[in-house]
Structure 1
């Protein structure tokens, strides 16, 4: 619609569409509108979330939902395996997966998403928390020693996954956990709290943050790449009215109602202060809210899918499942990423 010259007045979308729209010079800057309609929002929403809604120094979207990957685990299976608290080290995670893995009984230690950008969503925190990264300041830094070490660790973990994991779709991955077949599930989100109330009301599970610093890392880091948002198109005849509508939609009152009904992670810290979010299952999301880093923003975000859903996913499975040489495969993957980034300048 934008390229055809008939854009809507308002747009609601998911990452990374806000940057694709902004790159087309179709996004209305919202800084002054937010200051006028809801100035508290500017400080109520953490800076790292605003980073996902900012293009070339201007706010171009108002965030509504903030999705970060967390770790779900089956408390009953943990107890059966003699595991206490959820581990906070790589060695502890590997040992827990080993103890939980009982394939003859149809039970498996660990799983992660396998499709699209799922491997990044589920395991990206391990790369970042080990001092690695994918792109920094517009340059590919994928073929690093840190990332090689993370791939080696994931290859160890892979032996404790369900058979055929690389072919799983969402339903396969989801059912494996809520039917009690998998002990640890990397990369779920807040939406499943509400889903599991209906699908598996007796499931005894906990939710842990990615508080897993690798041997080459210094602090836990989570990839922040899951913000849903509202935008106003630059060509609208009603910029003031449109901006007022989207700030109203994410006002404190409306934002609370939205998050309560859908069990979504709030973007407003004042919403998190509501007693509804005292549920301990939200503790992991509170831990990650300000730790999530927006790795893919600006123009780089517009090539997220070819960089991550295509290249990284292929490299991931070639190494983890296929046994490909880690350093050589990382180097080839980095070269492919560099070609993709080079297209941005054309």
Structure 2
């Protein structure tokens, strides 16, 4: 998709050196230096607006100074794209991480909500991508409404500019441009990844499985593409200079469940979680319950307060819970693995 947009002249970047307007020769750089942008998670669709929403991934190599030595935003990497469902035409885009250097994809699950913000009825799309900011965007126009950190440890940027909607990057964030490595939060696993969020219209809250992570990023000065390898252009997995700074301590918990008000874009409550990334995503029901797989347990929380009401051990590697009704009875099911007995699907009835 991004490649088609580039060929149409919609991308002014170093990977496709053509001016805006689509005129002049298109000088391609080797594909191994200009990859990425895949859409590897779910899309969203608004039938009334007839728009399909696509979240795109980061570039490859991760290091922008290898991928795009002259800088630039690298459209449409790490972006939310709104496409006309009939012909695929780009209607608007919002880039959550311009010129992504850190694997902060915008592929994470998106939600379409109708909210009253500052006295106005707004049709919005919300997303919590890897970069640690919770975004509220007008889903009809792409107008930036708000962007606030949902994780405790977000050091690559100090905030999102309210006028431009662009991240306010920390001076040390561009490790390639600076030729200086740095520990940055979040790391490439993100402050939120593929685990789905849940929305409860009664409480007006989004239930977000979040995590605090960090990584050391340093530019590889002698990058050579190697078939079958990760080819990030960074030294996140060891190596790099001998002057690597001491790893800072994370200020927040490793994993947590955050209840967030998308109208004010603020945290209302949080609950502790276990396992990497807290394991699975969240499910909220009309009875104001939140179900979540965390560690080796399925837990049930009060959706209004975060108080834990019930839990049961189901095994490690819990997935996202689901709910369904059969013969007038509501059930919740969750898949879990990591036990000697092998993976299982657990099903529980509600209200019986």
TM-score range, shorter chain: under 0.3
TM-score normalised by length of structure 1? 0.23
Higher RCO (CA-CA < 8 Å; seq separation 6+):
1
Q: Which structure is higher in strand share?
A: 2
Structure with a larger share of its residues in helix: 1
TM-score of the two chains, using structure 2 as the length reference: 0.22
